[in-house]
Amino acid sequence: MKKIVFILIFLLNFIGFSQTNPVKSSIDTSNIRIGEKMLFKITVDGVNEVVFPKLQNIGKVEVVEEYKTDTLKNKLIKLYHLTAFDSGQYVIPKQQVLINNKLFYTDSVLVKVMTVEVDTTKQKMFTIKPIVEEPYIFDDFKPYLWWLLAILAVIAVAIYYYLRKKNVVIFNKKPAIPPFEEALLKFKALDKKQLWQHQKTKEFYIELTEIVRAYIEKEWHIPALESTTDELHGFMMDFIEIKKLPANKDTAIRLHKLLQESDLVKFAKYTPMASDIEIHRNEAEKLIFELKPKTEKIDEVV
């Protein structure tokens, strides 16, 4: 009697469990060929708060696509497209489904994957055809077109900045003035500085002699700026002797004396009197006038 009661209780519990499991799973076909698709479906009775499994690849069985959850007659349906590329028998194991924070399981499913048989005796053999080249289209040249446009843009920008810089240089370039006029302008600028009046006697003599030397070099192409005082005197005497300078030996001697006395101030720390400084300033300008090229005056014949 006790055994019969135990068996009845067990059967009631089993029946109750099967009725309380709202999850069912099925597959549209259990036999497929390699590469074919099969539809795996999970159904949950009642519209509840359900979390379906995120189905992953199961061995040789691969998940092709997972569809959104659908509702049909008070049921929730989840579909998965599966496939396999190796022949054999595979089991899709039980999947977990969470319903109202309670865990339920689907049934496991057996799938058989078969190879595709090919009868080579009935298949005609064809000769290998040569490769047929497709005609070129515009899309084939698109990558090269972008590179070409980029290179042309860089070249255009470089040419623009080059021409702009060249125009600025030409615009800012001041017309050259004759050496004689330039020397006179430098004398006036030197006077405005009032160097020796502000105890900058050495700086005054450096600029004074540089004005004279620069004029001689520009006007007569004698290396005056790079020569010593004695070397410059020798050049001047030679040029006067061969009549390349419109001056006499007295001019060369006075220039030599001016440069020598200036060297004493620049290198020997000699401090001249104010009257001597003014004499040297005026003497420098006189020498410039004496070394100025002579312009020949031609009388018009009437």
Pairing of strands 109-114, 31-33: parallel
Question: Is the same domain home to 199 and 105?
Answer: no
Question: Which residue type occupies 281?
Answer: R
Per-residue pLDDT at 207: 95
Angle CA(53)–CA(54)–CA(58) in degrees, nearest 5?
A: 100
Residues 92 and 189 in one domain: no
Quick one: 297 exposed, middle or buried, by C-beta within 10 A (0-12, 13-18, 19+)?
exposed
Same domain, 101 and 202: no
Are 209 and 286 in a shared domain? Answer: yes
Q: Which two tokens stand for residue 107?
A: 């049934």
- How many domains does the chain divide into? 2
91 inside domain = yes
In a domain, 157, yes or no: no
Based on the domain organization, do 193 and 107 belong to the same domain?
Answer: no
Model-wide pTM > 0.85: no
Query: In the numeric block, which tokens belong to residue 248?
Result: 């006499």
Q: What percent of the chain has pLDDT over 70?
A: 82
pLDDT tens for each residue of 76-107: 888 888 888 888 888 888 888 888 888 888 88
How far is Cα of residue 216 from the mean position of the Cα atoms in its chain?
Answer: 52
Q: Is residue 166 part of a domain?
A: no
**In angstroms, rounded to a whole number, what is the distance separating the alpha carbons of residues 278 and 208?**
11
Span 253-271, average pLDDT: 93
> Looking at 70, 88, 114, which one is the last position of a domain?
114
Pick from 289, 265, 288, 291: which is nearest to 276 by CA? 265
Contact 84, 60 (CB under 8 A): yes
Strand (E) or helix (H) holding 159: helix 142-172
pLDDT of 169 above 70: no
Do 193 and 280 fall within a single domain?
yes
For residues 107 and 184, membership in a common domain is answered with no
* Count of Cβ atoms closer than 10 Å to residue 218 Cβ: 17
Q: Which two tokens stand for residue 110?
A: 């057996």
* Domain CATH code at residue 46: 2.60.120.570
Asked if residue 282 belongs to a domain, the reply is: yes
Q: Looking at the domain assignment, is residue 85 inside a domain?
A: yes
User: CB burial class (10 A; 0-12, 13-18, 19+) of residue 76?
Assistant: buried
Residues in the chain: 302
Pick from 114, 145, 161: which residue ends a domain? 114
Is 161 exposed, middle or buried (CB count within 10 Å of its CB: 0-12, 13-18, 19+)? exposed
Lowest-confidence region among 9-13, 46-50, 120-124, 145-149 = 9-13
Higher-pLDDT residue of 86 and 292 is: 292
Q: How close are the terminal C-alpha atoms of the chain, in Å?
A: 167
Tokens 């600029």 — which residue?
207
- Domain end, chosen from 114, 147, 168, is at 114
Q: Is 71 part of any domain?
A: yes
> Are 108 and 183 in the same domain?
no
Identify whether 235 is part of a domain.
yes
Distance of CA 12 to the CA centre of its chain: 79
Residue 174 lies in a domain: no
Residues 191 and 96 in one domain: no
Instruction: Give the chain's radius of gyration (CA, Å).
Output: 55
- Look up the domain containing 210 and give its range: 179-290
- pLDDT tens figures, 211-235: 999 999 999 999 999 999 999 999 9
